[in-house]
Amino acid sequence: DAGVTQSPTHLIKTRGQQVTLRCSPKSGHDTVSWYQQALGQGPQFIFQYYEEEERQRGNFPDRFSGHQFPNYSSELNVNALLLGDSALYLCASSLGQRGYTFGSGTRLTVV
Amino acid sequence: GENVEQHPSTLSVQEGDSAVIKCTYSDSASNYFPWYKQELGKRPQLIIDIRSNVGEKKDQRIAVTLNKTAKHFSLHITETQPEDSAVYFCAAPPGGNTGKLIFGQGTTLQVKP
């Protein structure tokens, strides 16, 4: 039974570029949440997707957008990258609101 | 507002001693309180959680206590071992909506052999 998988594991981008991160939820899970974890900080909620729609959103600008596909997998897109976007991006899947399971994350470095 | 405060930020104990980490939340509607352990370079892993209808939950060497009146909850680790060394995060869902978790700032626990 595969857990939550994220790709890529590491990524280096230049300021101003765009990036897409991917997440495949744990088998049986239908909800995907995205978090940003800056170095030395706790994860911060970006948004959550359920039934292919954004259900909740944290305090992140519109440069952060996402998508959920019919197979429940999800993408996080960040446009016009800033140096401050450098962080570990974590995906968590759940069945509805239960059983939160985190993936190993994508380490994004913006230079 | 949505806020979770966690203390201490760092904690160093001798192997075999107990460790206690405390969190305070602001939203009285929060009803679920998980604790995560994150080792360096790895994902946060749920180690224990508690719901608002109970005051304490224990799982082997780990326990969590909840005081809803004071809006705080604590993680207790007994008989600490070097492999307990990690960063620990508490979290709470604002408005009782467990789909969104607000995390504390984290506590770096070092267990000295």
Q: B99 vs A94: CB contact, 8 Å cut-off?
A: yes
Measure CA of the first residue to CA of the last residue in chain A; give whole Å: 37
- Helix, strand or coil, per DSSP, at residue B83: helix
| Residue A4 clears pLDDT 80, i.e. is over it | yes
| Residue B106 clears pLDDT 80, i.e. is over it | yes
Q: Enumerate the residues of chain A whose CB falls inside 8 A of the CB of residue B104.
A: 42
Joined together, the tokens standing for residue B110 give: 């070092």
Q: Enumerate the residues of chain A whose CB falls inside 8 A of the CB of residue B106.
A: 40-42
For position A19, what pLDDT does the model report? 98
Q: Enumerate the residues of chain B whose CB falls inside 8 A of the CB of residue A90.
A: 43-44
Alpha-carbon span B70 to B49, nearest angstrom? 18
Alpha-carbon span B9 to B109, nearest angstrom? 9
A104 touches chain B (CB under 8 A): yes
For position B98, what pLDDT does the model report? 62
Cβ atoms of B17 and B110 within 8 Å: the answer is no
- Minimal-distance CA residue of chain B relative to A46: B100
The full DSSP string for B23-76 is EEES-TT--EEEEEEE-TTS--EEEEEEETT-SEEEETTEEEEEETTTTEEEEE
Per-residue pLDDT tens over the stretch A34-47: 999 999 899 999 99
Q: B101 vs A105: CB contact, 8 Å cut-off?
A: no
| Residue B100 clears pLDDT 90, i.e. is over it | no
Average pLDDT of chain B, as a whole number: 93
Per-residue pLDDT tens over the stretch B12-64: 999 999 999 999 999 888 888 999 999 998 999 999 999 888 899 999 999 99
Nearest to B33 by CA among B41, B42, B24: B24
Cβ atoms of B100 and A94 within 8 Å: the answer is no
